Protein backbone atom coordinates (compact mmCIF):
# COMPACT_ATOMS: atom_id res chain seq x y z
CA UNK A 1 0.00 0.00 0.00
CA UNK A 2 1.30 3.46 -0.94
CA UNK A 3 2.40 5.78 1.85
CA UNK A 4 1.82 9.41 0.86
CA UNK A 5 4.27 10.80 3.43
CA UNK A 6 7.04 8.60 2.03
CA UNK A 7 6.03 9.78 -1.46
CA UNK A 8 6.60 13.32 -0.15
CA UNK A 9 10.09 12.54 1.16
CA UNK A 10 10.94 10.72 -2.08
CA UNK A 11 9.61 13.48 -4.36
CA UNK A 12 11.53 16.19 -2.56
CA UNK A 13 14.55 13.87 -2.39
CA UNK A 14 15.22 14.80 1.22
CA UNK A 15 18.37 13.38 2.75
CA UNK A 16 18.39 13.15 6.55
CA UNK A 17 14.61 13.42 6.93
CA UNK A 18 14.74 11.20 10.02
CA UNK A 19 14.62 12.61 13.59
CA UNK A 20 17.89 14.31 14.48
CA UNK A 21 18.84 14.59 10.83
CA UNK A 22 22.17 13.80 9.21
CA UNK A 23 24.13 15.59 11.94
CA UNK A 24 22.87 13.00 14.44
CA UNK A 25 23.80 10.18 12.07
CA UNK A 26 27.38 11.42 11.76
CA UNK A 27 27.63 11.95 15.52
CA UNK A 28 26.54 8.36 16.20
CA UNK A 29 28.68 6.74 13.51
CA UNK A 30 31.88 8.52 14.52
CA UNK A 31 31.86 6.43 17.70
CA UNK A 32 31.42 3.15 15.83
CA UNK A 33 34.43 0.93 15.16
CA UNK A 34 33.69 0.29 11.49
CA UNK A 35 36.43 -1.47 9.51
CA UNK A 36 36.94 -1.63 5.71
CA UNK A 37 36.08 -5.34 5.65
CA UNK A 38 32.82 -4.83 7.60
CA UNK A 39 29.53 -5.44 5.83
CA UNK A 40 26.96 -2.72 6.56
CA UNK A 41 23.26 -2.63 5.69
CA UNK A 42 21.44 0.70 5.42
CA UNK A 43 17.83 -0.47 5.55
CA UNK A 44 15.33 2.07 4.28
CA UNK A 45 18.22 3.98 2.74
CA UNK A 46 16.11 6.74 1.19
CA UNK A 47 18.17 8.83 -1.23
CA UNK A 48 21.38 7.25 0.05
CA UNK A 49 22.90 10.01 2.19
CA UNK A 50 23.92 7.73 5.07
CA UNK A 51 25.04 4.88 2.80
CA UNK A 52 27.28 7.27 0.86
CA UNK A 53 28.77 8.63 4.09
CA UNK A 54 29.50 5.10 5.34
CA UNK A 55 31.27 4.15 2.12
CA UNK A 56 33.27 7.38 1.94
CA UNK A 57 34.20 7.66 5.60
CA UNK A 58 34.92 4.03 6.46
CA UNK A 59 35.52 2.40 3.03
CA UNK A 60 33.31 -0.47 4.23
CA UNK A 61 31.10 -2.76 2.15
CA UNK A 62 27.68 -1.09 2.06
CA UNK A 63 24.33 -2.47 0.91
CA UNK A 64 21.47 0.02 0.60
CA UNK A 65 17.85 -1.19 0.55
CA UNK A 66 14.61 0.75 0.12
CA UNK A 67 11.12 -0.17 -1.09
CA UNK A 68 10.35 3.16 -2.80
CA UNK A 69 11.40 3.21 -6.48
CA UNK A 70 12.00 6.98 -6.48
CA UNK A 71 14.26 6.69 -3.43
CA UNK A 72 16.21 3.89 -5.09
CA UNK A 73 16.63 5.87 -8.32
CA UNK A 74 17.92 8.91 -6.44
CA UNK A 75 20.22 6.79 -4.27
CA UNK A 76 21.74 5.25 -7.40
CA UNK A 77 22.24 8.73 -8.89
CA UNK A 78 24.04 9.83 -5.72
CA UNK A 79 26.32 6.80 -5.66
CA UNK A 80 27.15 7.03 -9.36
CA UNK A 81 27.92 10.76 -9.18
CA UNK A 82 30.29 10.09 -6.26
CA UNK A 83 31.81 6.98 -7.89
CA UNK A 84 30.81 4.79 -4.95
CA UNK A 85 30.61 1.01 -5.17
CA UNK A 86 27.45 0.39 -3.12
CA UNK A 87 25.04 -2.50 -3.64
CA UNK A 88 21.53 -1.09 -4.13
CA UNK A 89 18.40 -3.20 -3.80
CA UNK A 90 14.71 -2.36 -4.02
CA UNK A 91 13.10 -4.41 -1.29
CA UNK A 92 10.87 -4.68 1.76
CA UNK A 93 12.39 -4.39 5.26
CA UNK A 94 9.82 -6.98 6.41
CA UNK A 95 11.01 -9.54 3.86
CA UNK A 96 14.64 -8.83 2.97
CA UNK A 97 15.94 -10.82 0.00
CA UNK A 98 19.36 -11.30 1.59
CA UNK A 99 21.07 -14.27 3.18
CA UNK A 100 21.13 -15.05 6.90
CA UNK A 101 24.11 -13.78 8.93
CA UNK A 102 25.25 -11.33 6.24
CA UNK A 103 26.02 -8.07 8.05
CA UNK A 104 28.27 -6.78 10.83
CA UNK A 105 26.23 -3.58 11.24
CA UNK A 106 22.70 -2.49 10.31
CA UNK A 107 21.47 1.08 10.53
CA UNK A 108 17.77 1.98 10.35
CA UNK A 109 16.77 5.64 10.46
CA UNK A 110 13.03 6.26 10.82
CA UNK A 111 12.24 3.07 8.94
CA UNK A 112 11.01 0.39 11.32
CA UNK A 113 8.08 2.46 12.61
CA UNK A 114 6.61 2.51 9.09
CA UNK A 115 6.45 -1.30 9.07
CA UNK A 116 5.10 -4.10 11.21
CA UNK A 117 7.75 -3.58 13.89
CA UNK A 118 8.18 -7.12 15.23
CA UNK A 119 8.32 -8.59 11.73
CA UNK A 120 11.01 -6.15 10.62
CA UNK A 121 13.12 -6.60 13.75
CA UNK A 122 13.02 -10.37 13.24
CA UNK A 123 14.21 -9.89 9.64
CA UNK A 124 17.03 -7.61 10.74
CA UNK A 125 17.99 -10.16 13.38
CA UNK A 126 18.06 -12.85 10.68
CA UNK A 127 20.43 -11.03 8.31
CA UNK A 128 22.71 -9.69 11.08
CA UNK A 129 25.72 -11.76 12.10
CA UNK A 130 25.94 -13.14 15.64
CA UNK A 131 27.53 -10.38 17.71
CA UNK A 132 26.61 -7.80 15.07
CA UNK A 133 25.19 -4.38 15.91
CA UNK A 134 21.93 -2.66 15.07
CA UNK A 135 21.56 1.11 15.30
CA UNK A 136 18.06 2.50 15.01
CA UNK A 137 16.58 5.99 15.23
CA UNK A 138 12.81 5.82 15.59
CA UNK A 139 9.71 7.70 16.71
CA UNK A 140 8.78 7.13 20.38
CA UNK A 141 5.87 8.09 22.59
CA UNK A 142 6.92 10.33 25.49
CA UNK A 143 3.67 9.72 27.36
CA UNK A 144 0.33 8.00 26.94
CA UNK A 145 -1.13 9.15 23.63
CA UNK A 146 -4.70 10.19 23.07
CA UNK A 147 -6.78 8.40 20.45
CA UNK A 148 -6.81 11.66 18.49
CA UNK A 149 -3.01 11.80 18.29
CA UNK A 150 -2.74 8.11 17.40
CA UNK A 151 -5.29 8.53 14.63
CA UNK A 152 -3.43 11.57 13.30
CA UNK A 153 -0.12 9.69 13.23
CA UNK A 154 -1.85 6.86 11.39
CA UNK A 155 -3.46 9.12 8.78
CA UNK A 156 -0.45 11.42 8.31
CA UNK A 157 2.41 8.90 8.32
CA UNK A 158 0.75 5.51 7.90
CA UNK A 159 2.23 4.48 11.26
CA UNK A 160 -0.06 2.30 13.37
CA UNK A 161 2.18 1.37 16.31
CA UNK A 162 3.82 4.13 18.37
CA UNK A 163 6.08 2.55 20.98
CA UNK A 164 7.49 4.12 24.10
CA UNK A 165 11.07 3.52 25.22
CA UNK A 166 10.21 0.45 27.31
CA UNK A 167 8.17 -1.08 24.48
CA UNK A 168 11.01 -0.58 21.99
CA UNK A 169 13.41 -2.37 24.35
CA UNK A 170 10.94 -5.22 24.80
CA UNK A 171 10.49 -5.66 21.04
CA UNK A 172 14.25 -5.63 20.51
CA UNK A 173 14.78 -8.25 23.21
CA UNK A 174 12.08 -10.46 21.70
CA UNK A 175 13.91 -10.32 18.36
CA UNK A 176 17.13 -11.55 20.03
CA UNK A 177 18.96 -8.28 20.62
CA UNK A 178 20.95 -7.67 23.80
CA UNK A 179 23.09 -4.93 25.35
CA UNK A 180 20.41 -2.45 24.34
CA UNK A 181 21.85 1.02 24.86
CA UNK A 182 20.03 4.32 24.49
CA UNK A 183 22.23 6.74 22.60
CA UNK A 184 22.03 10.13 24.28
CA UNK A 185 20.33 12.63 21.98
CA UNK A 186 17.80 15.45 22.29
CA UNK A 187 14.58 13.42 22.34
CA UNK A 188 12.12 15.86 20.80
CA UNK A 189 10.97 15.79 17.20
CA UNK A 190 11.82 18.97 15.33
CA UNK A 191 11.02 20.29 11.88
CA UNK A 192 13.40 18.91 9.26
CA UNK A 193 16.22 21.30 8.38
CA UNK A 194 16.85 20.48 4.72
CA UNK A 195 20.50 20.67 3.63
CA UNK A 196 20.41 17.80 1.14
CA UNK A 197 17.73 17.36 -1.51
CA UNK A 198 17.19 16.07 -5.04
CA UNK A 199 13.78 17.39 -5.98
CA UNK A 200 11.66 15.71 -8.63
CA UNK A 201 10.04 17.67 -11.42
CA UNK A 202 6.29 18.38 -11.34
CA UNK A 203 5.63 17.63 -7.67
CA UNK A 204 1.94 17.28 -6.88
CA UNK A 205 0.58 20.32 -5.01
CA UNK A 206 -0.99 17.98 -2.45
CA UNK A 207 2.49 17.03 -1.26
CA UNK A 208 3.28 20.65 -0.40
CA UNK A 209 0.09 20.71 1.68
CA UNK A 210 1.15 17.48 3.37
CA UNK A 211 4.55 18.98 4.22
CA UNK A 212 2.81 21.92 5.92
CA UNK A 213 0.56 19.49 7.80
CA UNK A 214 3.60 17.52 8.94
CA UNK A 215 5.29 20.69 10.25
CA UNK A 216 2.16 21.73 12.14
CA UNK A 217 1.83 18.29 13.71
CA UNK A 218 5.45 18.27 14.91
CA UNK A 219 5.10 21.74 16.39
CA UNK A 220 1.86 20.93 18.19
CA UNK A 221 2.89 17.51 19.55
CA UNK A 222 6.60 17.79 20.32
CA UNK A 223 5.91 17.14 24.01
CA UNK A 224 4.09 13.84 23.49
CA UNK A 225 5.96 12.28 20.57
CA UNK A 226 9.74 12.28 20.35
CA UNK A 227 12.31 9.74 19.23
CA UNK A 228 14.94 7.38 20.56
CA UNK A 229 18.24 6.18 19.19
CA UNK A 230 19.31 2.68 20.22
CA UNK A 231 22.48 0.67 19.77
CA UNK A 232 22.15 -3.06 20.41
CA UNK A 233 23.83 -6.37 19.64
CA UNK A 234 22.58 -9.71 18.47
CA UNK A 235 22.99 -12.70 20.76
30-63 CB burial, b ≥16 within 10 A, e <16 = eebebeeebbbbbbbbbbbbbbbbbbeebebbbb
Q: Which pTM does this prediction carry? A: 0.90
Residue-level pLDDT, tens digit, the chain, 235 residues: 567 888 888 887 666 667 788 889 999 998 899 999 999 999 999 999 999 999 999 999 999 999 999 999 999 999 999 999 999 999 999 999 999 999 999 999 999 999 999 999 999 999 999 999 999 999 999 999 999 999 999 999 999 999 999 999 999 999 999 999 999 876 554 544 555 567 677 788 788 888 889 889 989 998 999 999 999 999 8
Q: Which CATH number fits domain 4-234: 3.30.1490.20, 3.30.70.20, 3.40.50.150, 3.40.50.10860?
A: 3.40.50.150
Amino acid sequence: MRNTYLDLVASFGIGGAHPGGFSLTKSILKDENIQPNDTVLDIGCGTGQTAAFLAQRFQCQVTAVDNHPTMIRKARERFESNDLSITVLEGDAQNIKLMDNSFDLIIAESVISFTTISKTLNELSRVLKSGGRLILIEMAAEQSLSEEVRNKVSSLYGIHEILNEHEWKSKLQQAGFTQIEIIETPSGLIQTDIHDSNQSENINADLYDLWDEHDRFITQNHDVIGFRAFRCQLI
